[in-house]
Amino acid sequence: VHEAGGRDLLILVSEDGASCVYIAARHGDFEVLRWLHEACGRDLLMLVKENGTSCAYIAAQHGHLAVLRWLHEACGRDLLMLVREDGASCAYIAAQNGHLDVLRLLHEACGRDVLMLVKENGTSCAYIAAQNGHLDVLRWLHEACGRDLLMLVGEDGKSCAWTAAQN
């Protein structure tokens, strides 16, 4: 494909901005990602969809730990710290889906900062973990960030404890 269409073919995106890197990350296809990186460089890995979703975000959503580890090696902290238009981060989506191993990797790579990011509506990764019943994730987030993260409240004034009690 690269030989026939060159770099121009590999950097094409769909109407919503999804690139071939995004699709490979969604499916956890490490070998395709590595090949795309070799063919087009870091810039291709840093592309985001129109809503700001990065290949790291989609890999975190699906729990592709090896892909995220490699993306960190290839692009550094910058890619893992990107947030979508609504403020959702890789940590937020990993917490939503109960991917504790992904959260540990993000913490190791980016420190506490990535876990403390909040969406536009003020909800944190602790809030979304509680909302989805991921108690193991919530406990670990408390160990990693302490009380500061658990005390964050959304625009509606609700905390992770409130949402955990509701569920």
**pLDDT for 13:** 59
- Which position has the higher pLDDT, 163 or 4? 163
- Which position has the higher pLDDT, 134 or 14? 134
The mean of the pLDDT values for the chain is: 90
Encode burial over 91-118: b for 16+ CB neighbours within 10 A, e otherwise.
Answer: bbbbbbbbbbebbebbbebbeeebbbbb
**pLDDT for 75:** 94
Q: What is the pLDDT of residues 146-155, one digit of tens each?
A: 999 999 998 9
Q: What is the pLDDT of residues 83-140, one digit of tens each?
A: 999 999 999 999 999 999 999 999 999 999 999 999 999 999 999 999 999 999 999 9
**pLDDT for 2:** 47
Q: Which pTM was predicted?
A: 0.90
**Max CA separation in the chain (angstroms):** 57
Of 3-17, 28-42, 59-73, 80-94, the range with the lowest mean pLDDT is 3-17
